[in-house]
Amino acid sequence: MRPTVTVRPMAKGDLDAVCAIEQVVFSRPWARASFETEVSGDPRSLSWVADDRGAVVGYLVAWHVVDELHIGNLAVAPGTQGEGVGALLLARALADAADRGIEHAALEVRVGNERAIRLYERFGFEAVAIRKAYYEDNGENALVMFRPVHCTGAPGPAPGETP
């Protein structure tokens, strides 16, 4: 993990960088308007960026829905992947969820995205269902993953990451 990376709330001024990462990382990227909605002040929207000395290198968008933190989007810039940025963002989201009294966390991930699945498993997420043909671009299934927010134990670093 780069010691210069910090996590802070996403702001309107981050959207150019967030959208640039989104375009490179995803085959069906979110529209800028979707991210604009996330920073509009809705208290249910929980969005953060990973900032490396003023440069956005990753982001996470989630929603507080009743008693659940639903993670909708997590991405890390290609040049920073594998350095613990995703783990830092996920840890922040779960810590904030715990502070808000949220009970559960859930997400969908492509069944073929093994790197992301490993990250989520390290954080205590477990596969609970498959959503058939969830992704419109290629019909790939989504793995639905779930965990209580108040899991015991902290995740360790992934292979290649420093603690």
- Return the active site residues: 108, 120
Task: Give the closest residue to 161 by CA, choosing from 118, 106, 104.
Answer: 118
Q: Are 92 and 45 in contact (CB under 8 A)?
A: no
Alpha helices in 3-139 (DSSP H): 15-25, 32-38, 85-99, 114-122
Q: How many C-beta atoms lie closer than 10 Å to residue 26's C-beta?
A: 13
Q: Give dist(CA 153, CA 135) in Å, integer.
A: 32
Q: Give dist(CA 94, CA 79) in Å, integer.
A: 25
Q: Which residue has the tokens 């498993």?
A: 121
Radius of gyration of the chain (CA): 15
Q: Give dist(CA 1, CA 160) in Å, integer.
A: 10
Q: Are 56 and 14 in contact (CB under 8 A)?
A: yes
